[in-house]
Structure 1
Amino acid sequence: MTLIGRTRARGIETLSLDSPANRNALSAALVGELTGALTDCAKDTGVRATVLTHTGNTFCAGADLRDPPHPDALVHLLRQIVELRKPVVARVTGHVRAGGLGLLAACDIAAASTPSTFAFTEVRIGVAPAVISLPLLPRTDPRALARYYLTGERFEAPEAARIGLLTAAGDDVDAVLEPILDGLRRAAPRGLAETKQLLTARVLETFDRDAADLTALSARLFASPQAREGMTAFLERRDPTWVL
C-alpha cells in the first residue's frame, strides 16, 4: 500500500501524505516513501516545483508513536526538502501537530486554509521539538516559538502566518496558491535553484552545526521514563501523571 500519492500538472509535482488511518503521522514507512518521492522529483527535469499536501483532515499528526522513524531519518528528510534544488510548497487544509510543523518549516513556501490548526505537542508527552527545530528556529519568530514550544497550546492559521510558520493563510488555500504556482512556472529552473540556495543557506548552517546534538537529544528523550508515560497516556487517552 502506497503512503504517498503523486500527481503532476504543468510541471508541478504534488506529493500527498496518504495515511489517514493514523492522521498522516510520520511512521518509518511514510518517511522512507516520502524521501524516495522527493529523490525522484530532484532527478526529474520535468518537475519545476513540488507541492506537499495531504488526504484527510490532518496534514500530519507528528511522529507515529507505534512506528516512529529513527531521528536520523527525519533529519535526512527535513534536510532533503531544504536542499532540494526546486521549490517545495506546503498546502495544508487541516490540522498540523508536532513533527508535521517541521515539514512546514522545511518547505520554501507554506499556505493553509483558515480553519487549519497547529500545535507543538511534544512537551505534553515528555519530549521536546528537538529535530524539527533545525528548520523552525531560523525561520520562525523566537518569542512566539517560546510560548508555543513551552505550552503546547493550539493556535490558528492567521497566527501561524504572523509568526512565520506559514507564508499565507486564506479561506480557499488553492486561491492563495494559484499566483504562487503560476510564478514558479514562469521562473527559469536555474534561477529557481540558485535563488533557493541563497534563501536556505542560513537554515543549512543550522543543520550543519546542530543536527548531531539534536538527534542525540531526541533519542535520549524518547527513551526516557517520562516519555514512556507520556506516550502511554496519549495512546490510552488519559492525562499523564504529571498533570496538575
Structure 2
Amino acid sequence: MADELVRYGVTGGVATLTLDSPHNRNALSAQLRAELSAGLERAIADDEVRVIVLDHTGSVFCAGMDLKEARGASAKEQGVNDFPAILERIWTSPKPVVAKLAGPARAGGVGLVAAADIAVAAENATFAFTEVRIGVIPAIISVTVLPRLNARAAHELFLTGDTFDANRAAAIGLINAAVAADELDGAVQRYVASLTLGGPKALAATKELLQRGTAEGMAETFESLLATSARFFASDEGQEGIQAFAQKRKPNWVPQ
C-alpha cells in the first residue's frame, strides 16, 4: 500500500490538508491529486469544519505537476483531467481556504495558491511560472492566477518564467502577506481566527458574491484549456523540455 501523500486533520474547526510528498517536492502526482481532492471533499462535507488550511511538509510547498508522469505520454495519456476540478473546488469552496507556504511554489503549485481565498508565505519563499521554459504553457492555472495578478506582472512572469520572491508576490496580488519565516504560523493563525468569527452561511454567501463573474463558466473554461495544456505537454517541444529538465541540461531551443 502506497504511503499517504496528503495528511488530513481537524482541530478547533480548522481542517488542515498537508501535502506530504517531500521526496519529489510535493509535486502534483496522480496519487497526491486524488488524495487532495478527497481531503477537500471531506472538509467541505464536515459541518464542524469552518476553515480549510493547505499546508506542506519539506522545504517546498509544491513544485507543480510531476513531470515523470508526463514524460513520453500522449495528449490523451497526460492524465491531469482531475487538476482543474481541484482548483475549481478550492475556488468555489463554501468554506474559506488558506494557503500556508514555508517554501517555494512553481507552476501548478502557484495555481493552488491563487485558488485559495487567503495565502501567506514566508519571505524566503519563491514563485515562478516555469511552464514556457520546458515548452508548455500555464493554461490550466491561468484560470485562478489571472484574476489575482495585475496585467503587467502577468505578462512579464508568464512569458519569462522568471523567479520572484514573496514580497513581490504580495505586491502583485498573488498572496496576501509575506512574513518572516518564524512569524508564518502566527500570521496564518490570525487569519484563521478572523475567519472563524464569521457566520458559516454568511461566509459561503460572501464567497459567492466575491466570485461573481469568475465562477460562472469555470468548468467549461477548464475543459477547453485542459485540451490545450495536454497537447503542449505531449508535443515534441514539451517532451524535449521535460527531458532536458530531467537531465539538467538546456532544451534544444536555447542557444548553446
TM-score, length-scaled by structure 1:
0.97
Distance 2:213 2:81 in 1: 20
Residue 174 (structure 2) aligns with: 165
Deviation (angstroms), 1:58:
0.3
Q: 1:191 aligns with which of 202, 208, 221?
A: 202
What is the CA deviation profile of residues 49-70 of structure 1, one whole-angstrom value per residue up to 9, with x for unaligned ones? 1000100000000100112573
Q: 1:45 aligns with which of 44, 47, 68?
A: 47
Residue 231 (structure 2) aligns with: 220
Deviation (angstroms), 1:177:
1.8
Distance 1:21 1:74 in 2: 21
Task: Give the partner amino acid of 2:227.
Answer: A
What is the CA deviation profile of residues 159-190 of structure 1, one whole-angstrom value per residue up to 9, with x for unaligned ones? 00011110111102122223211111211111
What is the CA deviation profile of residues 28-56 of structure 1, one whole-angstrom value per residue up to 9, with x for unaligned ones? 11001100000001110110010001000
Q: Which runs of 4+ in 1 moved over 4 A?
A: none
Alignment partner of 1:190: what SS? helix
Residue 153 (structure 2) aligns with: 144
Distance 1:210 1:137 in 2: 13
- Is the Cα contact below 8 Å between 1:134 and 1:206 reproduced in 2? no
Alignment partner of 1:228: what SS? helix
Runs (5+) with no aligned partner, structure 1: none
Distance 2:233 2:38 in 1: 26
Residue 70 (structure 1) aligns with: 79
Distance 2:217 2:116 in 1: 15
Task: Give the partner amino acid of 2:167.
Answer: P
Distance 2:214 2:91 in 1: 8
Task: Give the partner amino acid of 1:134.
Answer: V
Distance 2:34 2:6 in 1: 10
Residue 56 (structure 2) aligns with: 54
Task: Give the partner amino acid of 1:240.
Answer: P
Residue 5 (structure 1) aligns with: 7
Distance 1:208 1:225 in 2: 28
Runs (5+) with no aligned partner, structure 2: 71-77
Q: 1:82 aligns with which of 86, 91, 100?
A: 91
Which region of structure 1 is more displaced relative to structure 2, 59-68 or 16-25? 59-68
User: Aligned residue pairs: how many?
Assistant: 244
Residue 14 (structure 1) aligns with: 16
Distance 1:122 1:205 in 2: 26
TM-score, length-scaled by structure 2:
0.92
